[in-house]
Amino acid sequence: MTNAAIVILAGTDGHTNLGRLVNGLEAAKEFAENDEDELELIFDGAGTQWIPELEDESHDYHELYAAVRDDASACDYCSGAFGVDEAVQDAGVVQLDDHDGHPSIRSLVDDDYEIITF
């Protein structure tokens, strides 16, 4: 059994960041497909901007996102800072504010999660 926390930090600008997003979602999907693994998929920083884009069914990677959406959460502070707070709430994605408005990476480490950033 593996505990994995995939953290998407890549913003929505540029081809490189799209590649980071897709690689992060593919990694998350691999963990999600293994019933013995525990997965946390966290959109943090500029990565929160992806949620409204990926919620759009016409987006090229909507289906990949949909495959791991149930494991997704977003940084509460960053959702506001990057102007997507309402869209994240409308999507029903859980917003984390465990540490000063942000997800607690320390608690994931304490729970033996491997932290993988994209």
Two tokens at 91? 């999507």
| 116 located within any domain | no
C-alpha closest to that of 116 among 24, 10, 2: 24
pLDDT score at 41 = 98
pLDDT score at 6 = 98
Kindly report the CATH number assigned to the domain that includes residue 71: 3.40.1260
pLDDT score at 62 = 98
Domain containing 38 equals 3-11+19-110
Q: pTM of the predicted model, to two decimals? A: 0.97
Mean pLDDT of 103-107: 98
| 96 located within any domain | yes
Q: If you count them, how many residues does the chain have? A: 118
Mean pLDDT of 81-95: 98
| 117 located within any domain | no
Mean pLDDT of 14-42: 98
Name the domain count of the chain: 1
